[in-house]
Chains A and B, each alone.
Chain A
Amino acid sequence: DADVTQTPRNRITKTGKRIMLECSQTKGHDRMYWYRQDPGLGLRLIYYSFDVKDINKGEISDGYSVSRQAQAKFSLSLESAIPNQTALYFCATSDLADHQETQYFGPGTRLLVL
């Protein structure tokens, strides 16, 4: 969905390096999410934010941090990357309307940690 963009699309890094994944949206949604997806598995929630400066841990937040400085941007950081963080990372946005919440996903960032 072109309304949700992620940069970079692919990244190779070394163990111990700090990296940041960026997500931007033009949908005007308040809610933003970061997920990781491993081969053959579903999506696991890392962090989510319901508004600017609002940060909530998901099920696998250890080793990650996020920043939501503006409604349109939600960045994910790996402070010290390790090989088991090699995965496909997705950003998503949503707007809650009458309890129904459709999430719109970005194209993903493929991360390889050597």
Chain B
Amino acid sequence: GESVGLHLPTLSVQEGDNSIINCAYSNSASDYFIWYKQESGKGPQFIIDIRSNMDKRQGQRVTVLLNKTVKHLSLQIAATQPGDSAVYFCAEKYSSASKIIFGSGTRLSIRP
């Protein structure tokens, strides 16, 4: 069935390095993608989104890349900081559907 998933359940990076969190999706009809960050004890928080007519979108220290050919989505965090420690979820929305489908999440931990 169609699903949104993640290649790596956990990711450990050195403070100051760049982090890359990957996500695969299987429905080629999905045309809107979102990344959420969930810190311990809190609800998910919107980070950045991208529509399928774009390949790249940049925010503050974050960049989302979309490769529709291989149905792959990634979130890049520049100069990772301790405050970036969290679980990151990708999510997709189908063009004809009304619900957002969430992936299972990747935990990002920062080494000092």
Residues of A within 8 A of B (CB): 1, 4, 40-43, 45, 48, 50, 56, 58, 90, 92, 99-108
**Closest B residue, CB atoms, query A94:** B100
Given A1-B45, A90-B43, A108-B42, are A103 and B51 also a contact pair (CB < 8 Å)? no
Interfacial residues of chain B within 74-95, with CB under 8 A of chain A in the complex: 89, 93, 95
Q: Is the CB of A100 within 8 A of B49?
A: yes
CA distance A45 to B9 in the complex (A): 21
Nearest CB of chain B from residue A11's CB, rounded to whole Å: 16
Once the chains are docked, how many angstroms separate the CA of A90 from the CA of B44? 9
Interface residue count for B (Cβ, 8 Å)?
22
B104 within 8 A of A: yes
Cα-based distance from A104 to B46 in the complex (angstroms)? 7
**7 closest Cβ pairs, A-B complex:** A105-B43, A42-B104, A42-B102, A43-B102, A105-B44, A102-B46, A90-B43
Q: Which residues of A contact B100 (CB under 8 A)?
A: 101, 103
Indicate if the CB atoms of A101 and B93 lie closer than 8 Å: yes
Q: Is B99 an interface residue (CB 8 A)?
A: yes
Residues of chain B at the chain A interface (Cβ within 8 Å): 9, 31-32, 34, 41-46, 49, 51, 89, 93, 95, 98-100, 102-105
The answer to whether B43 and A1 have CB atoms under 8 Å apart is yes
Between-chain CB contacts (< 8 Å), 6 pairs? A42-B89, A58-B99, A100-B51, A101-B32, A103-B34, A103-B44
Closest to A110 in B: B41
Q: A48-B99, A101-B32 are in contact. Are A43 and B49 (CB under 8 A)?
A: no
